[in-house]
Amino acid sequence: MISPRSRELRPAYGFDEVAIVPGDVTVNPELTDVSFAIGGFTFSHPVLAADLDAVVDPRFAVSFHQSGGGLAVMNLEGLQTRYEDPEEALTEILSASDADATAVIQKVYSAPIREELIGERIRYVKERGAICAVSATPASTKRLAPLAVDAGADIFVVKATVTTARHISRSIRGLILAELCEQLPAPVLVGNTVSYGATKELMETGIAGVLVGVGPGAICTTREVVGVGVPQVTATMDCAAARDEHFRQTGRYVPIITDGGMRTGGDVCKALVAGADAVMLGSIFAGAAETPGRGYSWGMSTGHGQLPRGTRIHVGVNTTLERLLFGPTSRTDGTENLVGAIHTAMGVCGAQTVQEFHEAELVVAPSIKTEGKKYQLARGQG
């Protein structure tokens, strides 16, 4: 006899379990438009650099903007705002053994945030002509957001492992996103989330964009530590459905950005077909020569004092920002020329814009990476 409390589990899919179906019409890749618009700003491609200290510092933010009009997000609670010269702290993290890395990161991140450094870092980016996006956790947003915007930040990101429009805490009056959006003269992006309901409620507060993803990143251990997360294809589709319904009801289009879990151009393309307007990548960029982490990557939650939910990884310095985004490349595994991959996939699906790309079909295809690949697998290239 089935218990009345039994619940049926629905399937959820990640990038390795789905494939994009080509369209009935094809388009020359050079005729496709991969631009991304959010909060009154337009970027030439839909690939954002994540707010990891190993990836984005003021220099990288400028380089990323200059390399092709992209957007990099800088962490206001990271090394750049805790240390006048973050190089010594970086070196301490990078030189730690694997066994000691988390403890060292916890110690380094225990230094207080110095508010005067917020303005310095933002002004560095702005003085060199780049759009400046910065992030903070919900607990620090009320304090740091006004400082950042006063210093010239163009976009503010409220970011945590999970963020919702409704939050229960001991605080008499916590962060109210609707009020934040009214008070800040800069667009507000919020993340992270993975569900239809939470995404729709967040959009109703007036925010400019939503980050999608809980635990998929190469450096994140949230799924192991607390068991929480939804595979990124399903999460993106659910959040995109909320975006579309919000648009139907209000006429206001709020982009969603799939954040984490993508390793190749193929993964990026699948995220876009699933409904993402853009993607945010972290550890992929850690392999670029221009990043401060020298081939290492770690997350914001790695340094949590009581329950770290991340780890330090070593990807090695193996590419440049230009090759990673735009090529040319001799790699055959999809880890370089990510923007070129988007153009090509849109072309074979007959999509001239990213929104048209949303209409391409996805199928469940667990054999997509192994079918017919006997010799590649034998050489370790599958």
- Catalytically annotated residues: 220, 312
| CA pseudo-torsion sign 5, 10, 14, 17 | positive
Q: Say what the alpha-carbon torsion angle 331, 360, 223, 313 is, to the nearest 10 degrees.
A: 20
Tokens representing 257?
């950005």
Give SS3 for 41: strand
Q: Do the Cβ atoms of 65 and 129 come closer than 8 Å? A: yes
Q: Do the Cβ atoms of 187 and 39 come closer than 8 Å? A: yes
Look at residues 98, 75, 52, 105 and name the one whose alpha carbon lies nearest to residue 308: 105
93-123 CB burial, b ≥16 within 10 A, e <16: bbebeeeebbebbebbbeeebeeebbbebbe
Helices (H), the chain: 58-66, 87-95, 101-108, 115-127, 138-151, 177-183, 196-203, 222-225, 232-250, 265-273, 321-326, 338-348, 354-357, 374-378
In 165-220, which ranges are E strands?
Answer: 188-193, 209-212
The residues, any chain, with a CB within 8 Å of residue 196's CB and separated by 6 or more, are 238, 239, 241, 242
Name the percent of the chain in helix, strand, coil, to the closest 5.
35, 15, 45
